Amino acid sequence: MSLVKVKHIVLVLSGKGGVGKSSITTQLALSLSLSGHSVGILDIDLTGPSIPRLFNIETSKVTQAPGGWIPVPVHTSDPASGIGSLSCMSLGFLLKERGDAVVWRGPKKTAMVRQFLTDVLWGDLDYLLIDTPPGTSDEHISLAETLLKNALPGQMAGAVVVTTPQSVSTADVKKELNFCAKTGINVIGVVENMSGFKTCLKLPAQSYLVRWSDSRKSSMAIEERFSKENEEFGELAMDDDSQQGNNTDGSDNSADEDYTHDSGD
C-alpha cells in the first residue's frame, strides 16, 4: 500500500454538495504546509474534481513511474522558511479538458478510488487530506473499507465534517455523521462554512444571512451527534440563503439590507 509512509490521514466529508469541502481541504492543506508539515491531497471527487483548479495547476499532468503515479507538486519544502511540501492527486489531472464528463458506474468508481489509495507514490507525508464527494455512496464505502482494512494503527486521524448553517444542509450532514459512526471513523470536528460576513472590518459584529438562532440550532443538532471531546472548528464566510439574519450580538441586521441586496447600480 502506498500510504505506509503517511503519518496521519484526514478525511474531509459532508453529506451535502456545495458546502465547500474542497475549499476547506485547500485551506487545511495550506495551513499545515505553511506550519512546516509535508502534506498531500487526494481528490476522490471523481465526477467533480476541484482541487487542480483551486491550486491553479489544471494544466499539470501526473507522471507515471515504476510502481505507480507521482503526485503533482504544488510547492516543494523550504526548511529555511519553515514551509513543508504540498502535492496533489486528482482525476482532474487525467482528463483532457476541464469540461469532460466522467460517466462511470459504481464498480469503476470503486476501482479508481482503490487505485488512488494503492498506486500513488506519496513518499514521506505528515498529513494526507482526502477530499470526498457529497453523500455516502460508492466512493465513501470503497474509501472506508480500504482504509480501515489497510491503515496502520493510529494512521487514521479521522474526519473533518463540513456544513453550512441551513437546516437543509445540516440534515444531510447528520447522515454523514451516522456513516462515520457505522464505519468506525472518528469525527475530529465540524466546520460551519459560509456562516456570515462583516460589513466593516473595524466593527466586531458579524452579520448572518441565515438567522442566527436557526444557525445555532442547526449547529447544536450536529454537535449532539459526536462526543464532547471533539470540537466545532469554526465558521467561515459567506452564505446567501436567507433574506435577513441577526448579528452576533443578537441585534437585528436589517440595517444591512441595502448592502446585502445591492443591485450594483
pLDDT, tens only, 94-107:
887 777 778 788 88
Mean pLDDT of the chain: 80
pTM of the model: 0.78
pLDDT confidence bin for 29, thresholds 50/70/90: very high
**For residue 261, what pLDDT is reported?**
38
Taking alpha carbons only, the member of 237, 255, 145 closest to residue 198 is: 237
**For residue 119, what pLDDT is reported?**
92
pLDDT confidence bin for 255, thresholds 50/70/90: very low
pLDDT at 258 over 90: no
Q: What is the Cα 97 distance to its own chain's centre?
A: 24
- 166-179 tens-digit pLDDT: 878 888 888 888 88
- 129-163 tens-digit pLDDT: 999 988 887 888 888 888 888 888 889 999 999 98
**For residue 172, what pLDDT is reported?**
84
Q: What's the residue count for the chain?
A: 265
DSSP 61-115: -PEEETTEEEPEEEE--BGGGTB--EEEEEGGGG-SSTT------HHHHHHHHHH
Which DSSP symbol is given to 12? E
**For residue 11, what pLDDT is reported?**
95
